[in-house]
Homo-oligomer: A and B are copies of this chain.
Amino acid sequence: MEKCKADNLLKITNTVKTEARETILHAVLDSERPMSANELHLMVKNRGIDLATVYRAMKLFTEKGLVRPVHADSGLTFYEKSCEHNPPHAHFICENCGGIECLKPYGFDESAFFIKLGQQKEVSSVELILKGRCSSCAS
A95: which B residues are within 8 A, CB to CB?
124
A107 touches B116 (CB 8 A): yes
A121 touches B125 (CB 8 A): no
Q: Bound state CA distance, A131 and B121, in angstroms?
A: 9
Q: Bound state CA distance, A69 and B93, in angstroms?
A: 15
Counting chain A residues whose Cβ lies within 8 A of the other chain, the interface size class is: 35 or more
Asked if A73 is at the interface (CB within 8 A of a chain B CB), the reply is: yes
B130 touches A114 (CB 8 A): yes
Residues 65-110 (chain A) with a chain B CB within 8 angstroms: 69, 71-73, 75, 77, 90, 92, 95, 103-104, 106-108
List 12 other contacts, CB 8 Å, given A90-B117, A124-B132: A92-B121, A106-B116, A106-B117, A108-B113, A117-B130, A122-B132, A122-B138, A123-B132, A125-B130, A126-B129, A127-B129, A128-B128
